[in-house]
Amino acid sequence: MARRRKIIEIDEKKCNGCGQCVSACAEGALELVNGKAKLVKDIYCDGLGACIGECPEGALKIIEREAGSFDEKAVESRKEGKKPKSKGGKTPKTAKPGRTGETLPCGCPSNTVMDLKTTKTSTPGTAGEIHSELSHWPIKLKLLPPEAPFLKGANLVLLADCSAAAYPNLHPHLLRGRAIVMACPKFDDLEGHINRLAAILEASRPKNLTVVIMEVSCCRGLLFAAEKAVELSGVKVPITKMIIGRSGKILEKTE
């Protein structure tokens, strides 16, 4: 039943899609949609404004308007509905390792699983040439099957797209001996990434997870996605956070 009450309002022009308000909302009333924070439903928002102080752009404020009453039972149902199924239940269908999955408009298979370590040759390259340390394909989180064999017990790196271009020591320092998944927290489907990463954690049980993001605030949404995925999967995996500056230097590394 609608009544006049306090509720959150988001200024889309100011929102940079960092996702910090999403992680601060215990009720799960906010989501990132197309790179912007959105109020999912009025009934999920309690109007207390715990998310406001987390926004670096001042895009959130509490207003009074006609809105459906806050429904605590609906909030709990929503939280339960977003949890991935247990092993005893049905799990989302994903491409099996070794099979051709999604095909791009150009006609090329985008997620044919490949172990690149078995295809690399020992032929010497040009003197001073830097060799690729990429060990598998695909690398985009959206395309990666959770059951891919190279993910089993791996040292897993979740890499923000921009940080790959910014960090000059990417291959020797981050890719060597690790499995990598790449995503963008601002322009991708963040909820889809959370669910896919949770499925990977549950199926593959990696040894650890390193989240590499840029210093820009919108990139922190990827760290939120990783923490949420760990929570949803129920798999205890240590997370290391690495922040890369625009200049390519490591600004922060915490475990």
Question: Are residue 77 and residue 150 in the same domain, yes or no?
Answer: no
In a domain, 94, yes or no: no
Write the CATH number for 56: 3.30.70.20
Same-domain check for residues 167 and 231: yes
CATH number of 189's domain: 3.40.50
**Do residue 154 and residue 226 come from a single domain?**
yes
Question: Are both 139 and 229 inside the same structural domain?
Answer: yes
The total number of structural domains in the chain stands at 2
Does the residue 32 lie in any domain? yes
Residue with tokens 């020992």: 122
Task: List, as one string, the DSSP characters of 105-162.
Answer: TTS-BS---EEGGGT------STTPPPP---EE--BGGG--TT-GGGTT-EEEEEEHH
- What φ, ψ does residue 224 adopt, rounded to 5°? -60, -45
139 with 245, same domain: the answer is yes
Please report whether residue 57 resides in a domain.
yes
Q: What pLDDT, on the 0 to 100 scale, is given for residue 95?
A: 37
Dihedral sign (CA 107, 110, 112, 115): positive
* Residues 69 and 151 grouped into a single domain: no
Query: What is residue 68's three-state secondary structure?
Result: strand
One domain, residues 161 and 230:
yes
In a domain, 173, yes or no: yes
In a domain, 158, yes or no: yes
- The secondary element (H helix, E strand) that includes residue 239 is strand 239-244
Closest CA to 224 of 22, 8, 7, 27: 22
Residue 109 lies in a domain: no
The answer to whether residue 127 is domain-embedded is: no
Averaged over successive runs of 10 residues, the pLDDT of the chain (255 residues) comes to: 89 86 84 87 90 83 93 86 51 38 45 66 57 89 87 95 95 93 88 91 95 91 92 94 96 92
Nearest alpha-carbon partner for 192 in 164, 232, 219, 153? 232
Cβ count near 159 (within 10 Å): 25
Domain boundary among 44, 59, 82: 82
Residue 90 lies in a domain: no
Both 188 and 78 in a single domain? no
Pick the last residue of a domain from 60, 82, 104.
82
Q: Give the domain range for residue 34.
A: 2-82
Looking at the structure, tell me whether residues 65 and 149 fall in a common domain: no
State whether 77 and 137 are in the same domain: no
Query: How high is the pLDDT of residue 130?
Result: 74
Q: Which of 62, 82, 102 is the last residue before a domain boundary?
A: 82
147 and 249 inside one domain: yes
Q: Give the residue from 249, 254, 247, 178 showing the smallest Cα distance to 223.
A: 254
SS (H, E, C) 152-187: CCCEEEEEEHHHHHHCCCHHHHHHCCCEEEEECCCC
